[in-house]
């Protein structure tokens, strides 16, 4: 067994000798020393050399916890790594020794605090991103310079704006690609184009722009405040086309349509669709999604895509029988009739208010009676106007068909219906696996939206 020591100072004008002397006095040596190295750096020359030397049964000593870790979470990772190597950690100032029961208890307390800290970060990140997506702001959601087809907004505008020449150019390129022209040939046939940063658009940039959701005015599958250069239907057809080119075989449109709405219960990551065990399709926590603050997915949650699709389809079938479903079909005869009724009633109420004023002027009704009737009319006008405004906004959105035929809908229509019917994002719990495996219905709770 060897008792190694580690010392570190952040700047070159500091002196690590005092740390080294204390470690030697406590029986640790040799002592590896990093000088002028911040604790925020993941790679440290002497620290890396020390880790390579450690063997099972060794001990590692330092004067303070912050000498070896950058944060609580990082400290837990370091200690967990040492314990996995069967190396004990001794910290002189905090009187920590992981070879003792009290030292192990402190380590587990640190682990719990780190887990709590990670949970808070994920929750805050998800809440912030959800607020940005609800606002439909492309610039704040995606960050960085405007993507191809957009430019910075005018002074005082918090979002990007459509760059009309670039947008028309990109739409023309999309039509040519859908006509089965190679991307390189499309680029050569079109006039030279530059993005918002002044870079000349090459084939790689064009291919990326045609597959980027923002090009269709989408943020995480949801409409942004401004429309993109491509309409959603064109963008969906492009994804199918590029999928076919990548795989060399036809791709079923909408194979994994609900990935953007599914979240891992363990780390908050967006689930990604992909073939899995025995060629069956799965949604799994596998790819990082920086927009959600997840750089290292836990990879601890996966669910059969077929089970998810069946569960959602069954829930939509229930929702389709509710008044909310009828209201969501913005162009049904029922809502059109209701709008006509509201418009007629508002006109009648306005005529009544004018008549009341005329009678008040002529002294045919008392001031008190006039005030009462006028107040009642104002309340009725506000109520009817609010309902009419809600129907107008609904009518301006992409409407749903009067009859919900789920299997006949396009992926875009299914997503639109899902967003109107069910609370999203949809959280997927771990499935345990083996003989204790849970079904998708056990792991996913779908909540219908209120009317």
**pLDDT tens, position by position, 335-355:** 667 777 888 888 888 888 888
Q: Are residues 310 and 354 in the same domain?
A: no
- When the pLDDT of each residue in the chain is averaged and rounded to a whole number, the result is 81
| First-residue to last-residue Cα distance in the chain | 69
Q: Any residues with CB less than 8 A from the CB of 40 and at least 6 apart, and which?
A: 70
Confidence (pLDDT) at 375:
87
Q: Quick check: is 121 in a domain?
A: no
Question: Which residues are catalytically annotated?
Answer: 10
Which domain, by its residues, includes 347? Answer: 331-396
> Which pair of tokens denotes residue 178?
């859908």
Q: What is the CATH number of the domain that holds 165?
A: 3.90.1750.20
CB 235 within 8 A of CB 148: no
Q: Are residues 21 and 78 in the same domain?
A: yes
pLDDT > 50? residue 177: yes
Q: What is the CATH number of the domain that holds 57?
A: 3.40.50.1390
Mean pLDDT of 194-221: 89
Regarding pTM above 0.85, the answer is no
Q: Quick check: is 134 in a domain?
A: no
How many Cα atoms sit within 13 Å of 295 on the Cβ side? Answer: 2
The 10s digit of each residue's pLDDT in 7-39 is 988 776 677 888 999 999 999 989 999 887 765
Q: Are strands 222-223 and 302-304 parallel, antiparallel or unpaired?
A: unpaired
How many domains are contained in the chain? 4
CB 10 within 8 A of CB 37: yes
Confidence (pLDDT) at 243:
67
Cα 361 to Cα 353: distance, rounded to the nearest angstrom: 12
Please say whether the dihedral angle defined by the alpha carbons of residues 190, 191, 196 and 200, taken in this order, is positive or negative.
positive
pLDDT > 70? residue 41: no
Phi, psi of 186 (to 5 degrees): -60, -45
> Which pair of tokens denotes residue 121?
């970060």
> Which pair of tokens denotes residue 163?
């760059």
pLDDT > 80? residue 91: yes
Q: Quick check: is 57 in a domain?
A: yes
Q: Are residues 217 and 144 in the same domain?
A: yes
Mean pLDDT of 115-142: 72
pLDDT > 70? residue 217: yes
Q: Quick check: is 181 in a domain?
A: yes
The 10s digit of each residue's pLDDT in 258-278 is 988 999 999 999 998 877 766
Phi, psi of 50 (to 5 degrees): -65, -45
Q: 218, 184, 190: which is closest to 204 by C-alpha?
A: 184
Q: Quick check: is 450 in a domain?
A: no
Q: Are residues 211 and 232 in the same domain?
A: yes
Q: 376, 236, 395: which is closest to 327 by C-alpha?
A: 395
């Amino acid at each position: 067994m060897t008792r190694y020591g580690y010392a570190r100072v952040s700047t070159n004008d500091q002196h690590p000798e005092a740390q080294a002397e204390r470690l030697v006095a406590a029986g640790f040596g040799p002592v590896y020393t990093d000088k002028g190295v911040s604790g925020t750096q993941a790679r440290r020359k002497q620290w890396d050399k020390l880790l390579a030397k450690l063997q099972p049964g060794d001990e590692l000593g330092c004067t303070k916890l912050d000498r070896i870790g950058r944060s609580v979470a990082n400290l837990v990772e370091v200690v967990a790594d040492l314990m996995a190597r069967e190396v004990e950690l001794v910290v002189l100032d905090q009187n920590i020794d992981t070879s003792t029961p009290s030292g192990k208890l402190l380590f587990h307390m640190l682990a719990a605090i780190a887990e709590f800290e990670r949970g808070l970060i994920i929750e805050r990140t998800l809440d912030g991103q959800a607020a940005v997506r609800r606002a439909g702001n492309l610039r704040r959601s995606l960050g960085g310079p405007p993507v191809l087809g957009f430019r910075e907004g005018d002074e005082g505008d918090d979002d990007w704006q459509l760059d009309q020449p670039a947008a028309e150019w990109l739409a023309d390129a999309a039509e040519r690609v859908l006509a089965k022209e190679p991307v390189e040939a499309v680029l050569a046939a079109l006039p030279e184009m530059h993005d918002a940063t002044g870079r000349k658009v090459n084939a790689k940039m064009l291919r990326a722009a045609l597959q980027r959701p923002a090009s269709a005015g989408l943020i995480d599958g949801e409409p942004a405040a401004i429309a993109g250069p491509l309409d959603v239907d064109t963008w969906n057809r492009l994804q199918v086309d590029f999928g076919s080119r990548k795989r060399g075989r036809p791709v079923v449109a909408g194979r994994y349509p609900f990935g953007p709405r599914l979240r891992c219960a363990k780390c908050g990551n967006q689930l990604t669709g992909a073939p899995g065990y025995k060629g069956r399709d799965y949604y799994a926590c596998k790819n990082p999604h920086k927009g959600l603050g997840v750089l290292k997915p836990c990879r601890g949650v996966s669910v059969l895509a077929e089970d998810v699709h069946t569960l959602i389809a069954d829930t939509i079938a229930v929702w389709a029988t509710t008044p909310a479903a009828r209201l969501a079909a913005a162009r049904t005869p029922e809502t059109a009739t209701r709008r006509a009724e509201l418009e007629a009633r508002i006109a009648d109420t306005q005529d009544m208010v004018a008549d009341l004023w005329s009678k008040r002027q002529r002294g045919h009704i008392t001031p008190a009676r006039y005030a009462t009737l006028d107040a009642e009319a104002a309340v009725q006008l506000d109520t009817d106007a609010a309902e009419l405004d809600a129907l107008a906004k609904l009518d301006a959105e992409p409407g749903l068909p009067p009859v919900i035929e789920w299997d006949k809908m396009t992926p875009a229509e299914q997503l639109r219906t899902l967003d109107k019917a069910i609370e999203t994002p949809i959280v997927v719990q771990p499935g345990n696996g083996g003989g204790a495996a849970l079904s998708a219905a056990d792991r996913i709770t779908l909540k219908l939206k209120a009317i």
